Every structure is written in structure tokens, then in C-alpha cells.
Structure 1
Amino acid sequence: MKFKITLFAVVLFYQISFSQQKDTIKSHEKLSEVVVTGQFEPQSIKKSVFNVRVISNKDIQNLAANNLSDVLNQYLNITVRPSSTSGRSTVSLFGLDAQYFKILVDNVPLVNEGGVGNNTDLSQINLNDVDHIEIVEGSMGVAYGANAVSGVLNIITKKSSKYKWNITASVQEETVGDEYSLFEKGRHIQSLRVAHTFNKNWFVSGGINRNDFQGYLGDRNGKSYAENDQTRGYTWLPKEQLNGNALISYHKDRFRFFYKFEFLDENVDYYNSTVQSNFNSTLGTYRYSDDMRYFTNRYFHNLNVTGGLFSQLNYNVSVSHQKQQREIENFRYYLFTKNEDLNSTEKDQSMEVLSSTGTLNNFFSDKTVDLQIGYDFVNNQGFALVQEANNKFVPIRKRLENYDFFVSSEIMATDRFSIKPGLRFSVQSKFKNQYASSIGLRYLFDKGLELRGSYGNGFRTPNFDELYTKQIFDGHFFTGNENLIPETSTSYEASIKKFMTFSSGWQWSGTLAGSFLNVDDRIDMAFIRKNPDTGTPEYQYINVSKYQMWNFSTMNQIVKDNFTVNLGAALIGISQLINNNQFTSNDQFLYSFNLNASLSYNITKWKTIISGYYKYNGKSRQFIESGSEYVLSEIDPSNWLDASIRKNFFKDHFEATIGARNILNVTNVNQTRTTEGAHASGSNLMLAYGRSYFLKLAYNLNL
């Protein structure tokens, strides 16, 4: 096994990120924000070598956000990709899908039925007990291991309160496009959270949240429609979620621990657009449709212990156990009698994960140098039903393990200049052993000028589908590949940030930033041969492609008194060399432009906050397979605007938020050349279900 460590000493523009919206942000408040992602210990955002973007609890409240997909629509470089057919919403960062972007809860990667910390459904992540969210862009392979290629998102939950009792109950009613009724249409959310501080050492909390999404009809006619004209069912599938959580924490001197439990129960209804007719002696002439339900369940256990050893060393150990499973119920629905029959349920996919992470730091009394050593052990037990020939489904059970060891150091060369190198070694049960390395630099100039730069390399391991999937039926042959190797990545980021205060009272902070990312051995489905007996072309996942991205951006924030404005823009260039062993795409760089803005005004006399969020997604281009070649497809630009008014009443016990999402009424955007042939017509890419309005009422009791 060979390993090459690349050191880097060049100043590049690093991607800085800061919160999109704050209620009356002051500079000294912003600089004192405490972050934990990628840090040895919690520390202020200014001292962090990494650029950490913070989404505060106030941001979440202003957006009346119930889940993670409600929040992320407004942020540069992030694209939320909803699916009306599956009900899932996943995230893309810098054009790379969610497999390259790791989602954590309190530094623990969140499981989904197909993997760990990647391709997670954002709509399944509830924000009921979230303190804030931290995002770090760029490779974080040393700190978080596999799949942290384009960045990480870390959800930090509440673990204490300044009140003895804290009780919050809320209801939220929301239209789905122009559809709403009290029970049968729209989105209906109820939540309750109770927290109790026993004394200065003990704290407990628990909460439950119900999200009832009744689906979106659009041009469909619903569940009971009996005509066979392909308009039965829903454009966006109905979905009901129940989330719960409980936490107990203890803190005394340097020792603290918390245990957190979360669960998810989700039902998604699929109604077939095809209506069929039949006759029997019992029902006479009848009409029916073959429908499905998807049942998803997840539980999450996390025990975290931190403390001190030998009066100096600091330790941090987490042990977690998670499982997410999806079952599919098939049934026949009789449209005249509205009864179900032939119900059968089978397990479709699951992933169970036992993991532990531990670190030890603060070895030296000299505070100019700190060293951290750590381990990360992960045991994945995956399951999937795969389709083989003759419509036969076969269960596949596989175990994947990795045992990682990492070391990192933070060196304060001077009061202004700090260096943070790191190295990770990963022992893989399925693949060759992997490595990750990084180095971060930070320099603080006079007059509020900050310079940061970093280099990192990492890896993405193949997911369960890429390794073991099978779709074999007449004329089709698509399979996974157990001989796949992990993808490898290299990234460079740098930024320069300036903060200024003017005599008029205005404050401004601005950033120029840039980054470059290269991914080798990308996994794609490719042609491997034509079956000599049947003539069927056979396809398989193989390591054949390459990806490169560079990004240049600016972000600016202006604050005075209770008035805050954020302005940002980004230009992204992406090059993808796609090879399916039949033909290859052009690897030219394709560019897109994005910008965002937000405005907040706090009317303190009225206890009212007025907020607005805007994002422009410019025209983008990508190569897609069409006929016997890759052709250049264009996706039209889109605009997204949200606004809200939030007001407190009766000594802040009651809170009302009224607002609108997607005010510009975005539904579909056109994508060209998506059907066969170089002169083919385009199709619509579904982004949203149109303008929606919401009203949220909350009761807060703090004793």
C-alpha cells in the first residue's frame, strides 16, 4: 500500500459561509458564535481554521421550517432536489449529489435505508429540538471519514436551558400550492416539546412532531377517480410523518454526558394512474387499481461522554446505534366500494449501523500547540431486495465495516497565524485501505481582515446499490459491481474576509472566496457487453468517470440597529467526463451563476420581525445520454422568494408567524434535449408545487 502526503503552501480563495439571516446581528455577537464542526473543542467562529456557515434557530423560526428541506432552499451552492414520485428531498452541493455531502446530528452521521450520512431524505429530518445548524464546505475527510467530499452539515440539538421549565406547543397550517382544506388538503403540522432543568447538573427534554402532507393533486384527480385516462392519483404523493426525541444530560465541572434518542415513522401513499376493469359474481363489474404504500422507520441512539484525564487531557467519546428500514405494502383498491384487498407487505431496504468515535486532545500545557488523536469504528449491516431474471426478487444481506484512526494538530505559530494539519487512515473490510489528509491555514490581519486557506483529500465508498443492485428483466440488465473501488477527491479552498464599522453606525462584512474540487474514479453505469444468447445489452456500475469543479463567490452583510441585509453571488464551473464504454461526454467546463439576498427588520416596539429571502438559480447546462451520444442539455433559470412576519404576544408566551413560500410560483422549469435524438424536444423538470401560504401559532411557557 502506497501513501503520498501532499503538503500545500499556496494562498487560494477559501469559501466562507455565514448565516443567511439573523435577528439584529451585531458584529461582536457574530464573532462570538460558538461552533463545534471540525473543532477540537467548541470555540468562536473567528478562531476556527475552517469556515463554518451557521444557520441559527432564529433563521429556522423566521422560515417556519419544519424539516431540513424547508431551510436549505435559500443558500448559495446548495440545491434541494425534491421528487414528487418518491416523496424524497435530497441535497446537492457544487453539483455533486447527496452521496458526497455528509449529514450529521451532533457529529454522528445520520443513517438512511441505503447508507450512512449520505443521500439522506431532508424531509425526514425534523428541526423541533435544533439549536443551530453548521455547514462546512470542502473535503472534511480527516474529521469525518468517507463521503465527506463536498462538505458536511452538522445539526446541533438543544442540550440545556436557562429556564427550570420550558414548554413549547405549536400548530402550523399550510397550503400546498392553491390546495387547502382543514383535513383533506394542505399541510398540517403539530408539535410539542417539554424540557426541565432539575438543577445545575441535570437536564431532560422530550418532543414529538406530526407532519401531515395531504399531497398535491395538480392535474391529477385523486385516489377515488375511476376513469382510465391516466389522471388518477397525485402529482406529489401524500405523506405523514411522526418524529419523536428524548434527551437526558448531566454536567459537572469538566465531565458531561448526554444520551439522545430519536425515532421516525413515515407513511407515503402511491396511487397508480392506471385504472383497470373486471367482473366477478360477488362484485359484478368493478374497477380497481394496484396501489402501494411505503413505510419507513428509523431509530437513533447516541451516547456522548466528554471530560478530563490527569488534570489536563480532554476526551470525547460517542457510541451510536441506528437503524432505518423501508417496507412496501402492495394492495388492490376497489374504486366503487373503496375497499382494499390482497394486501401484502415485505421488507424492501434497511441499514443498521453500530458506530463509535473517540478523541483525545490537549496534550501540552503550551497553548500554542494542540494535538488530537482519535478513532472512528463503523459496522454497517445492509439489506435489499434485488430483482433478478424472471421477475424473481432475492434478498441480499451484506456487512461493511471500517476502522479509522486519525490525528490532527492545531499550531498557533503566532497570535495571528495558525496551522491545522491532519491525517486519517481507514481500514476497510470490503475495499483497499483508504487515506485522507488536510491542512488548514488562518491569518488575522489588522483592521478586521481575515485570510483562510485549506487543502484536503478524501474518498467516497460505493453505496449498497452500486455494489449489489440487480435489475434483470426482458430487454434490461443493470447490475451492481462488488469490485468497485472508492472514489478519491482533492479540494482547495481559500477566502479573504473584511469587517468594517462606519461612524454612521453601519457595519459591513464582505468575503471573496474560491474553491476547486477534483474527483477521480467516479462510479457510473456503463455498457459491459451484449449477451451473446439474447442480444440484450448489459450494463454495470464501474469506475469510469471524472469530475472537476471550481467556484468563485462573494458574500456581504450590512447591519444597522435592527436592520440586516445579506447579499451573495457565486459563479460555478463544472466539468464531467462521463464514459459508458460506448461513447464519452465532452469534458468542457459548464458554468452557472447564482445569487441570493435576504432582508430582516426587527420592530422591537411591536416585538415583530419582518423577513424576506430570495435566491436566483441561473441557467445551467449538463451532458445527458440521448440516443447514441451525450448531448448538451440546458436547464432554464428559476427564482425563489419566501417572506414572513413573526410577532410575539403576551410577554412572549404566544408567537404567530404568517408568511408565504415560493411567492414567485415556481413549479416546473424546462430542460432541453431530454428525449432521444440531437434535435429532440425538451421536458419539464419539477421543482415545486407552486406558491404556498402558512400560519404558525406557538405557545411558550418558560418558568
Structure 2
Amino acid sequence: MRLKITIIFSLLSIYLGFSQEKANDSIAIKKIQEVVVTGQFSPQSIKKSVFNVRLISAKDIQNLAANNLSDVLSQYLNISVRPSGTTGRSTVSLFGLDAQYFKILMDGVPLVNETGLGNNIDLSQINLNDIEQIEIVEGSMGVTHGANAVSGILNIVTKKSSQYKWNISLIAQEETVKKEFSFFEKGRHIQTLKIAHTVNDNWFISLGATRNDFRGFLDTKKGKNYSENDQNRGYRWLPKEQLNGNALISYKKNNFNIFYKFEYLDETVDYYNSTVQSGYNTQLGSYRYSNDKRYLTNRYFHNLNSAGKLFSKLNYNISLSHQKQERNIEDFSYYLQTKTERNNLTTKDQSMEVLYSTGTLSNFFQNQKVDLQLGYEFVNNKGFSLIQEANNSIVAIHKVLENYDFFISSEIKATEKFSIRPGIRVSAQSKFKNQQASSLGVRYLFNKETEFRGSYGTSFRTPTFQELYSKQIFDGHFFAGNENLIPETSTSYEMSLKKTSILSSELQISNTFSGSFLNIKDRIDMALVRFNPDTGNPEYEYINVSKYRMWNVSTTNQLKKENWSFNLGSSVIGVSQKLENQIFTSNEKYLYAFNLNSSVSYTLPKLTTTFSIYYKFNGKTQQFVEGTSEYIISTIDSSHWLDFSIRKTFFKNKLETTIGARNLLNVTNVNQTKTNEGAGHSAASQIMLAYGRSYFLKITYNLNF
């Protein structure tokens, strides 16, 4: 019943928005256009973009008191953030597709992680202390952004200028972890320093550093120094400390721009074993210890970008990037009586080093109705990983994957209202057969601020390093990568209709209705491929076996009146998959999910105070899992997410405070049914979504002159 009411309300709001006429053309105001850069020939207003681009502004990030990308994306439609308390990672899912199909970039350059480039990024590792805005494009972006941009891309646009000569910001944020908090031992503690200097009209430099100290979540666990062997030692969510640093130097003069950006991440995740061991020696007598671990991750990001004009005519934009992310594992014995560590051994576990370059050339014609863009992309991936062969033999593998891509795109402005954008990309792969991507986008501007966009696109996803080369063989278990995998291919269709009604200088309504369809072939899945003839044990391997189809219908609606801002969005997603193993095949029926999000913001100008509420409803989802003799449907329960904040400035914006609460509805775990059916059990399992309601206080001191 709630679902029907919400859909009816959303459709009614669309109808009302489209049926509204301007009360008086003479009172229509000229809006300040939001400028986007993702997928464009050059920065331009969001209205002129052929792609349907969603923006997350710096103001939204401030209102959420967000420190990393995970804090932000959990509130947005069609996006699901999947945190893991046992690994410390948070990844993103778009339209039900996991993080391997969604590409994350910074200033147009895909970000590296220890297993790949651009996809499967840990959101908690992306710091937001120098962000201008975040741009999200849903749908196939294979022509402009290459492999793995199947379900969409997210581009983080960083700040490269300031209105002040000097801008110095000191930020301190304290946050509870559910009810757990103390200034040094519990909770979340964040400190940030930012310094920016406009040297003159041409030069700009900035430096930043952030420490994010998450002290873990105990829940019913007893922590690091608990010495009883009853499985209560350790943490429910692992402690994690991150150190982020960044630097930027930028030069602009006439039609020439160049900047160099550097980022560094150092992350430590502590794992405390729940099993306590007992021992004896002549020095210590009886003692207790535990075999613990540390996961040590570091990332370097270098990006040199230049943009301008060649021969006073052609527009160029070139980026050259060198990145590396490495994860080491430190094993050690922790002695509980003396609280000391011994037998520390650090091993390199995974790494990925990337040399990346992309560039475009456009503005070939004097005719403003036609534009042409030529582009290239070069990627050199050097991957490393440890794999576990039979008899617990650990083997190191080193592999290099390269691709050389060239693409061409054109934007044809047939009329002032109608634009067409075709494009094609060819990718020469070192490991796989050459791949292609194509697209065709259209935009039509109706009268009375109504915009139509439609697109068709093909794309591809190349197998990850793990899917190709991983191996785990232990105690009768066999899970292996497959070097014979081929890239997945996809076809997608999108359309959207947007209506903006400016009813007065103080009232504006915007309504968007969109739909999409995605079809993926040769999808890669871990599947049962054989039974060992000697032991009879099942053996699993990554193979191109699965099919995936998805359709989505969504609506977003925004109302702005004076100091009020109200947003309401909803979507319905249908997913059909074909899964196979050695024994049986899944049903290809569509499984559906409903999502809803809303936000309300109100500003009191006299008090320089903004009140914000963000709400997200994730409807129940279903998926096929292996049963004893067939694939069966497993259901994940629905969940609600509610955030609230109050942001106020003092002393002419020199001091800013934000107080609020995350996860006000106190969500922790949700049930997933039938996950153990194949093992002869039918009880539901628990999925950790969050650690419950938490409260935060953020204080920012800005010295601007």
C-alpha cells in the first residue's frame, strides 16, 4: 500500500509540474546555470548537456558533514552503498550492479585501487576536503570513458581557484559510533587543515591534510585486550585510521590552463582475532595471546593536466597520471598480559601501479552548429597478488595489462533546440580481443523550459585482476580465476524528460521523469565447473556464463521557495539474470526493487542557520542463490536511512558549526533469507548495513583575506 501511494504521489507531482504555466512571463528570472564538465567537449551549463547529469554540490557535502564519499552517496537514488565492518571497505552499487560496473574519477582521471582502475573503489578511502562538486552520469559511457563505465560514472571535480588571497581552514569533527564515544578510545575523530593561496591572477596553490580516526565498533564484543577464549574478543566493525594529504598548483593565462595535483592515502585497518590462544614458557609462565593482523594500504596519485587552444582555434585537454595503490598484511602475536606484540611479519598482498593518459581535441569547425572531438586513452596496469595454491603454497604473480583506445565524437546542433551526439571508440587490448563502444545521444528543448534527452550506447567491461588470476585452494575448497575470460559487452537505452517551472522570483519547480534499459552479455560469475575426480569436492571458477538485464523507471522532483528546498525521488528497478553451474540453471524472471529518497532544507538568513533532513528508503531486494538442487530466491529486507543536521555560521562566516545525527532510525543489520540453503540450512543470515544511530559535531574555522 505504501508503495502504491508513493508512486501515485510522485506521478502526481510530475503532472502538476508539467501542467504549471508561468504565472507571468515578466517575472521570470534568469537562473544561474550549473556548469558541468563530465563527458562534455568543454565546461557548459547542465541544460546544454546531451547527457543527463546529476550534481552533488559542495553545500550538500557540508550539510551532511561528509568526510568521505561513502557518507554522501548513501542518500542518493538508485545508488546503494555496501559497507563491510569485517574488511573496512565500502563499495557502491548502481541499478543493482556492483562496483565493477561503475567508474569513479577525479578530475576526469579514473582512481586506482589495489585490484584495478576506476571501478570497485573503496568509497571510504576518497576524501572530500577539497571538492567543488560531484557529477554523476547514469548509463553507458563507454565512448567517452572506456572500459567498465557500464552503469555510469562519477566524477569528483576538485577546487582549483579561490575568491580570496589566502584561505586557511581548520576543521575538527567528533562523532559517536552508536552510543560508543570517548575522545581517544572510542568514536570517530577527524581533523583537517586546508591552506589555499591565490598568488596572483595566474597562479594558485593549495595544500590539505586530513586524519580520520575510526576507533571501531564494539557492540557486544570486548575489544583488543579481552583475554577470555569465548569468541567475544575484538570488534564488530574494525578500527581504521586514515591519513590523507593533497597538494595542487595551478596556472592560468588567457586560453592556457595547467595544473598538477598530488594525493596520498595511508590507511591502517586493525583485525583482532576472536580466538584467544594459551601458551607457556619459562619467562612468562602461563600466558594468553592472539594471532592478529593489520591491513596497511597506501596510495599515490599524480595528475598533470593541461587545457587550452592550439593554433588559436583547436581546444585541447590532456591528462597524464601515475598512480599506485598497495596493500600489505602485517601478521603478529599479541600478548594479552603484557599488551605487547611479537613475531611481526609484513607481507605484500596486492598492488596495482598504473600509468594513464587521456586527451581530447575539439572545435575543428568555424560553424558553431557542428563540433567534432577526437580523443585517446592509454592505460598500463602492473598488477601484483598473492595466490594460494594446493597444499597451502603461496605464490606471487605479476601481470601487465594494457589498452590503447581512440574515440571520436561529434555534437551536431541541428537547430537551437535539437542536438545530436554520435560517438564511437576502438580499444586495442593486450590481453583480450579488441573492443568497441558506440553511442548516440539526442537532446531536444521544448517550449516552457521542458528538456528531452535520449541515448543509446554499447560498452564493455574487462575482467578484473582477481577474476583472471586469483586462486584459493584449501581444505577441500577450490576457487580460481580464469585467464581465458573474455570481456563482457552491454547495450543500454536511456531517456529523460525534465520540466522546470519558474512561477515567481521566489518559487521554482523542477520535475524529471526517466527510464533506462541495460542488457549485459557474457557476464562473469563464479560458478561450479567440475567435481574433483579424486576427492569428489566441487571446484568453482570464474566463467562467462551469466546474462543480466535491467530496466529502471525513476522520477526526481525539486521545489525551491524562498529559503526552502524540497526534493523527492523514487525509482522502480527490475533485474533479470541467468545463472548456471554444472548442475542447474536459474529462472530468468524479473525481480523488482523500489527506492525512495527525499530531502528538506530550510535556511534562516538572519541567523545564518540551515536545517537539513535527508531520507532514503531501500526497498526489499531479491536475488537467485544456489540451493541444494536448484537456484532459489533469496530476499534482503528493506531498510530506512535518515540524517539530520543544523549548520550555523558565526562572525561573518569565520566560524561554522554543524551538529546532527546519522542513521536516526538506528539501522544495524537486515535479514537475508535462504543464504544457507545449499548447506542444508534455511535460517536467515544477517547483513551488516550500519552500526546504528550516531551523533556528530563539526567545527570549522575559516581565515579568509
Superposition TM-score tier, normalisation by shorter sequence:
over 0.9
Per the alignment, residue 364 of structure 1 pairs with: 365
Q: 2:578·2:588 contact (CA, 8 Å) conserved in 1?
A: yes
- Counterpart Cα distance in 2 of 1:29 and 1:660: 37
CA deviation digits over 1:461-497, x for unaligned, max 9? 0000100001112211111111100000111000111
**Structure 1 residues 526-545: aligned runs within 5 Å:** 526-545=527-546
Q: 1:146·1:458 contact (CA, 8 Å) conserved in 2?
A: yes
Per the alignment, residue 260 of structure 1 pairs with: 261
Task: Summarize the Cα distance change of 1:29–1:381 in structure 2 as closer, same or farther, 3 Å threshold.
Answer: farther
Q: 2:29·2:505 contact (CA, 8 Å) conserved in 1?
A: no
Give the deviation of 1:31 after TM superposition. Answer: 5.9
- Counterpart Cα distance in 1 of 2:400 and 2:281: 48
CA deviation digits over 1:201-225, x for unaligned, max 9? 0000000000000000011110011
Give the deviation of 1:503 after TM superposition. Answer: 4.9
Residue aligned with 1:147, SS: coil
CA deviation digits over 1:491-523, x for unaligned, max 9? 100011111122594221101110001111001
Give the deviation of 1:582 after TM superposition. Answer: 2.1
**AA aligned opposite 2:320:** V
- What is the number of residues matched between the two proteins? 680
Per the alignment, residue 6 of structure 1 pairs with: none
**AA aligned opposite 1:61:** Q
**AA aligned opposite 1:493:** E
CA deviation digits over 1:331-363, x for unaligned, max 9? 001111111111100100000000110110000
Give the deviation of 1:270 after TM superposition. Answer: 0.1
- Counterpart Cα distance in 2 of 1:314 and 1:604: 42
**AA aligned opposite 1:686:** M
CA deviation digits over 1:186-243, x for unaligned, max 9? 0000000000001100000000000000000011110011111111100000000000
Q: 1:519·1:547 contact (CA, 8 Å) conserved in 2?
A: yes
Q: 1:31·1:46 contact (CA, 8 Å) conserved in 2?
A: no
Give the deviation of 1:679 after TM superposition. Answer: 7.2
- Counterpart Cα distance in 2 of 1:388 and 1:454: 46
Per the alignment, residue 691 of structure 1 pairs with: 693
Task: Summarize the Cα distance change of 1:434–1:30 in structure 2 as closer, same or farther, 3 Å threshold.
Answer: farther
Residue aligned with 2:119, SS: coil
Per the alignment, residue 653 of structure 2 pairs with: 652
- Counterpart Cα distance in 2 of 1:303 and 1:504: 43
**Structure 1 residues 122-271: aligned runs within 5 Å:** 122-271=123-272
CA deviation digits over 1:641-680, x for unaligned, max 9? 0010000001110000000000000001111111125871
Per the alignment, residue 65 of structure 1 pairs with: 66
Q: 1:304·1:316 contact (CA, 8 Å) conserved in 2?
A: yes
Matched, 1:305 2:306: yes
Matched, 1:513 2:546: no
CA deviation digits over 1:431-452, x for unaligned, max 9? 0000000010000000111111
- Counterpart Cα distance in 2 of 1:513 and 1:587: 25
- Counterpart Cα distance in 2 of 1:469 and 1:30: 53
Task: Summarize the Cα distance change of 1:436–1:636 in structure 2 as closer, same or farther, 3 Å threshold.
Answer: same
Residue aligned with 2:61, SS: helix
Per the alignment, residue 458 of structure 1 pairs with: 459
**AA aligned opposite 1:510:** N
Per the alignment, residue 47 of structure 2 pairs with: 46
Per the alignment, residue 347 of structure 2 pairs with: 346
**AA aligned opposite 2:291:** D
Give the deviation of 1:527 after TM superposition. Answer: 2.0
Residue aligned with 1:70, SS: helix
Q: 1:524·1:580 contact (CA, 8 Å) conserved in 2?
A: no
- Counterpart Cα distance in 1 of 2:245 and 2:638: 38
- Counterpart Cα distance in 1 of 2:316 and 2:649: 42
Residue aligned with 2:143, SS: helix
- Counterpart Cα distance in 2 of 1:385 and 1:257: 39
Q: Which runs of 5+ in 2 are unaligned?
A: 1-10, 15-26
**Structure 1 residues 522-561: aligned runs within 5 Å:** 522-561=523-562
- Counterpart Cα distance in 1 of 2:462 and 2:579: 19
Give the deviation of 1:551 after TM superposition. Answer: 0.4
Q: 1:263·1:300 contact (CA, 8 Å) conserved in 2?
A: yes
**AA aligned opposite 1:64:** A
Point out the more displaced range, 469-478 or 293-302: 469-478
**AA aligned opposite 1:130:** I
Task: Summarize the Cα distance change of 1:30–1:537 in structure 2 as closer, same or farther, 3 Å threshold.
Answer: farther
CA deviation digits over 1:609-644, x for unaligned, max 9? 000000111111111123332111111111100010
Q: 1:31·1:44 contact (CA, 8 Å) conserved in 2?
A: no
- Counterpart Cα distance in 2 of 1:136 and 1:434: 22
Residue aligned with 1:605, SS: helix
Give the deviation of 1:536 after TM superposition. Answer: 2.6
**Structure 1 residues 333-412: aligned runs within 5 Å:** 333-412=334-413
Q: 2:530·2:582 contact (CA, 8 Å) conserved in 1?
A: no
Point out the more displaced range, 426-435 or 673-682: 673-682
- Counterpart Cα distance in 2 of 1:358 and 1:445: 34
Q: 2:28·2:505 contact (CA, 8 Å) conserved in 1?
A: no
Q: 2:271·2:293 contact (CA, 8 Å) conserved in 1?
A: yes
Task: Summarize the Cα distance change of 1:492–1:389 in structure 2 as closer, same or farther, 3 Å threshold.
Answer: same
Residue aligned with 1:502, SS: strand
**AA aligned opposite 2:410:** S
Residue aligned with 2:677, SS: coil
Residue aligned with 1:123, SS: helix
Per the alignment, residue 483 of structure 1 pairs with: 484
CA deviation digits over 1:46-88, x for unaligned, max 9? 0000010000000000000000000001001000000011000
Give the deviation of 1:588 after TM superposition. Answer: 0.5
Residue aligned with 2:517, SS: strand
- Counterpart Cα distance in 1 of 2:47 and 2:529: 52
Matched, 1:605 2:596: no
- Counterpart Cα distance in 2 of 1:151 and 1:581: 33
Per the alignment, residue 429 of structure 2 pairs with: 428
- Counterpart Cα distance in 2 of 1:582 and 1:177: 45
- Counterpart Cα distance in 1 of 2:268 and 2:490: 37
Give the deviation of 1:29 after TM superposition. Answer: 7.8
Q: CA RMSD in A?
A: 1.4
Return the TM-score normalized by structure 1: 0.95
- Counterpart Cα distance in 1 of 2:477 and 2:676: 19
Q: 2:362·2:374 contact (CA, 8 Å) conserved in 1?
A: yes
CA deviation digits over 1:224-270, x for unaligned, max 9? 11111111100000000000000000000000100000000000000
Per the alignment, residue 10 of structure 1 pairs with: none
- Counterpart Cα distance in 2 of 1:610 and 1:56: 16
* % identical equivalent positions: 70
CA deviation digits over 1:110-137, x for unaligned, max 9? 0000100010000000001111100000
- Counterpart Cα distance in 2 of 1:676 and 1:286: 41
**AA aligned opposite 1:652:** N
Give the deviation of 1:162 after TM superposition. Answer: 1.2
Q: 2:640·2:667 contact (CA, 8 Å) conserved in 1?
A: yes
Return the TM-score normalized by structure 2: 0.95
- Counterpart Cα distance in 2 of 1:441 and 1:135: 18
